[in-house]
Amino acid sequence: MFKNTISNLGRIRQVMEVLVRYGFEDVVTSTALRRLVPQGRRVSWQHAEKTVFDTNRWERIRLIIEELGPTFIKLAQALSNRPDLLPEALIDEFEKLQSDVPPFPVVMARRLIEEELGRPISEVFSEFDDVTLGSASIGQVHKARLLTGEEVVVKVQRPGVQEKVRTDLSLLRELVRLTAGFLRKQGLSNPQDIVDAFERSMTKELDYTSEARSMDQFRKLYADYETFYVPKPYREFSTSKILIIEFVSGCKISNKPQLLEWGLDPAKVAETGMDIYLTQIFEFGVFHADPHPGNVLVRPDGTIVLIDFGMVGKLTKQQKYAFAGVFIGMARQDARSMALNFRRLALHADIPDMRRFEADLNDLIEDFTVLDVKEMSMSDLADRLQVIIYDYKLQVPGAVFLILRALVILEGIGKVLHPSFNTFEFVRPYGARIIAEQYSPENLMSEAQYTGVQLLSLLSTLPTDVRQIMRKISRGDLRVKVELGGYQPLLRKADQLVSRTIIALLAVAFLLFSGLSLMGRYSSEMAYHRGIPMLTWFSLGVTGFLLLVLVIMGLKKEQRERD
């Protein structure tokens, strides 16, 4: 850990200078980062003029991200799809970030291609265009032609980008470690988990073979579709740093004049595109996560083509059912069903007040059911759902936000091509299809088999687990780990436990006294009832009263936990 801090010291100080320049000296002065600021520079940092205060805090965060470079921009762009983690104002700023950068020299691109292929370019391509088709922070794209005659596009990774990303990821982990307490006070409860998830995403994006596998998967899923096409990846020529893909010509799906010139019905194109996307979500559970107009092409014959599979989302079967259930519950105006499906969808859902949660969902339903079809907007619905998720701190799968974002993008495209385009009309029939699938005999049988296997596994391991626990108890090796989540609740529980313990001890004491009192010898003045001294009866009465108090306290505790 100390070694990482030393190796990143220069870059960390650069980050701190940027933070202070944009008026975030509290992030430095309130965290362990202040120890890395030389004593002689602290005064000047704290009293420097900061014209950036003319902008708001969220804008300054965006300016910091832009200045720190591509890795941080990528992180911010990924977080812009997670409204459960960040406030809406910050997400709006992150959505303004652009990661486009100038292309690197074609000489370097050619050299990298030859190094990866292990042979000269002339032995693979008959033509190679030195002018880039596009450029981004990870790599750039060139058009080429294979020796066999096929036109292709070549994605080439920027030289040294993997090392730079690894350095910045190490830096991010170190920054999170140094500022974890501050970030938690700002409402970001799991910063390390966010960095870990981003690291997995970036590692996957830096490996072009992952994108090639996604393209092959989509080609298999849609092999029988005549209206949808996925370009072929040439995996025999591709590596983790270069990707060769079939070149497909066409116009952007939003280019309505070109569609009309080809004799295509724009409304029909929009309907086909939405049907293809909803099929990805609700049938296959794997979907293209970035369907902006530049990634959705249309051929002259009306075939829709998806390109750039660097971002692909996935839903498990249960997540798919729960996500569909949210929309089905809304269509049926059933807030309770929506709430239950939200809880099924969430990875962690600690909702303190389910009645209030259902009431907020009911307000959402009422607001949208009174609207005319033309007035309904997927963008408005997505915003409202994201606010509810953020307010209740529901940790739902990241794929859910990718879907909502994609539906908003597709609705925008659809309204350009189709005057009366309405996303809800397309989603509705898929809801009925999902219900039929969920309760089909095949699915119910599959669920029963899974439950049976889990039960058998539990029964087979239970004797061994119990035996191990008993051995530890007999040897005195059993240890219980307790994590304090807050002192006040713990003190209240301790106070209740002490009270019940005292009452229980008093009950035991009076019960023992009752037994001993039967053995005593008393004067003739002692009253007896049914041959038992009244002193014994009194002790038994006190014991019964104390036991009754314990029972009432236990019932009240159960009632509080249910509430």
Q: How far apart are CA 132 and CA 453, in angstroms?
A: 55
Rounded to an integer, what distance in angstroms lies between the CA atom of residue 393 and that of residue 521? 69
Is residue 187 very low, low, confident or very high in pLDDT (cuts 50, 70, 90)? Answer: low
Please provide the average confidence, as pLDDT, over all residues in the chain.
79
Q: What is the mean pLDDT of residues 492-521?
A: 76
For residue 265, pLDDT beyond 90: yes
Q: What angle do CA 90, 316, 308 make, to 5 degrees?
A: 60
What pLDDT, on the 0 to 100 scale, is given for residue 43? 46
* Mean per-residue pLDDT, 274-285: 89
Residue 507 reports pLDDT greater than 50 = yes
Question: From the CB of residue 2, how many other CB atoms can be counted at a distance below 10 Å?
Answer: 6
pLDDT at 18: 74
| Percent over 70 (pLDDT), the chain | 76
Q: Could you give the residue numbers annotated as active site?
A: 290
CA distance 347 to 318: 12
Amino acid code (one letter) for 422: N
Determine the average pLDDT of the residues in 521-530. 70
pLDDT computed for residue 216 by the predictor? 95
Position with higher pLDDT, 500 vs 50:
500
> Mind listing the pLDDT tens digit for each residue in 130-178?
999 888 778 899 999 999 999 999 999 988 888 888 888 888 888 778 7
Measure the CA–CA gap between 211 and 543, rounded to whole angstroms.
73
Looking at per-residue pLDDT, the higher value among 249 and 480 belongs to: 249
Q: Per residue in 353-403, pLDDT tens?
A: 888 999 999 998 888 766 655 666 787 888 888 888 878 878 888 788 888
Torsion of CA 283, 289, 292, 297, to 10 degrees: -60
- Report whether pLDDT(331) > 90: no
pLDDT of res. 375: 64
Is a pLDDT exceeding 80 seen at residue 303?
A: yes
Averaged pLDDT for residues 521-527: 69
How sure is the predictor about 100, in pLDDT bands with cuts at 50, 70 and 90?
low
Taking the C-alpha atoms of 320, 326, 330 and 336 in order, what is their torsion angle to the nearest 10 degrees?
140
Q: What is the pLDDT of residue 46?
A: 42
Percent above pLDDT 90 for the chain: 23
Residue 48: CA atoms inside 13 Å, Cβ hemisphere, count? Answer: 17
Report pLDDT for 33.
66
Q: What is the pLDDT of residues 2-22, one digit of tens each?
A: 445 555 666 776 777 777 666
H-type alpha helices, 8-159: 9-21, 25-29, 39-47, 57-68, 70-79, 88-94, 106-117
| pLDDT band at 321; cut points 50, 70, 90 | confident
Residues 57-91: tens digit of each pLDDT: 778 788 878 777 777 777 777 777 666 567 777 87
Using the predicted structure, report yes or no on whether residue 49 has a pLDDT greater than 60. no
**What is the C-alpha separation between 353 and 389, in angstroms, rounded?**
14
Confidence check: pLDDT of 499 > 50: yes
For the segment 247-264, what is each residue's pLDDT rounded down to a tens digit? 999 999 999 999 999 999
Instruction: Please compute, for residue 220, the number of CA atoms within 13 A of its CA located in the half-sphere on the CB side.
Output: 8
- Comparing 452 with 36, which gets the higher pLDDT? 452
- Per-residue pLDDT at 373: 53
Distance CA 414, CA 278 (A): 14
How high is the pLDDT of residue 190? 64
pLDDT bin (cut points 50, 70, 90) of residue 520 is: low
How many other C-beta atoms are found inside a 10 Å radius of the C-beta of residue 533?
A: 17
Query: Which pLDDT does position 65 carry in this prediction?
Result: 80
pLDDT of 44:
46
pLDDT at residue 234, rounded to an integer: 95
Residue 30 banded pLDDT, cuts 50, 70, 90 = low
Query: What confidence tens digit (pLDDT) does each residue in 399-408 have?
Result: 888 888 888 8
Q: Nearest-CA neighbor of 344 among 316, 322, 315, 325?
A: 322
Check residue 66 and give its pLDDT: 76
pLDDT for res 500: 78
Residue 55 pLDDT greater than 70, yes or no: no
What is the C-alpha to C-alpha distance for residues 431 and 328, in angstroms, rounded to an integer?
6
Would the pLDDT of 107 be above 80? yes
